[in-house]
Amino acid sequence: MLPEVTHNYFNVNGIRLHVASAGRPDGVPVVLCHGFPELWYSWRHQIEPLAAAGYHVLVPDMRGYGESSSPPEIEAYTHEIICNDLIALLDELGYAQAIFIGHDWGGAIVWSLAAHFPDRVRAVAGINTPHAPAPRSNPFELLKRRPGRYAYQVYFQEPGVAEAELERDFERTFQLAIRSSRDTGPSNPIYRTHLALEAGAFLPDDAEYTPSDLLTEADVAYYAEQYRRNGFRGPLNWYRNMEANWQWARKTDGQISAPALMVTVGRDPVLPASMSKDMEKYVPDLKRGHIEECGHWTMQEKPAELNQILIDWLAQVVSA
């Protein structure tokens, strides 16, 4: 059951941003940022525990998703623009700072926020998504040469191709896309991302599949209903700005001064824990949490374990 959540809409940075919120308005603001292909709803298991711990929990549908605006232009989805959405949200709400927690693309955004807007970030946490400074060479050129497990990101580059696949049957897309690490069979696309270019598809082409073991029928229906609003173009456009994001990242040294948390998991083939091994070089005030028996969809696969890690860390940050 969802906690009591308020839904508001803010005109910020040229778009309408839908934000779900819960908890005390006078509490420390905690902003939860989702990734692909998700929604504010992907944090549904975290909202009530964080609100009960005394925080003002703010959970946007990120630009391109759900009830937020979804401009069609690729260049409307750079990290710089998305970070400015969140800074404008803080301004609209009258907050000088907030604690930002992100997963997947949302994780990349919150680390970018902490690097570019350190005065607005009280603390920052990445769930599965690590942080590192911008590499010297264009990472998109390397990705095209050696896509490996990120072949799906190259497949996503051509506008209209992945949209057509993922919008063919919204319920099927979410039944297949969001599955636990226990499901290692051919129905789980997280274990076949390296095949996306060869197959010309992100999802497996199986006529038969078992329902998601992470989503109820009501969850699937909600995701499908929300994605029917604007489809997948906005969410996929996040993948189509890699060079612009790299150029913007190069404008900082990549150092994160805010108190930080990195939560790794043991079974994410796309964002393995090993990717975070050198983070202390760039994030000196870093705490760590780890959930071994968990895959990519951490908030939904291991909510109790993640919530405890977050609440313990937040208490340390706020009391410091």
Judged on CB neighbours under 10 Å (0-12, 13-18, 19+), 24 is exposed
Q: How far apart are CA 15 and CA 50, in angstroms?
A: 27
Q: What is the DSSP code string of 43-112?
A: GHHHHHHHHHTT-EEEEE--TTSTTS---S-GGGG-HHHHHHHHHHHHHHHT-S-EEEEEETHHHHHHHH
| Cα separation values, 76 from 33, 140, 235, Å | 18, 18, 11
Q: Is 104 a catalytic residue?
A: yes
Maximum CA pair distance of the chain?
54
Q: Is 45 a catalytic residue?
A: no
Stated as kind and residue range, the H or E segment containing 11 is strand 6-12
Of these residues, 104, 116, 152, 155, which one is catalytic? 104
Q: Is 282 a catalytic residue?
A: no
Residue 136 makes CB contacts below 8 A (sequence gap 6+) with: none
Among 234, 38, 249, 276, which residue's Cα sits nearest to residue 139? Answer: 249
Of these residues, 55, 65, 239, 282, which one is catalytic? 239
Task: Just list the catalytic residues.
Answer: 104, 239, 296
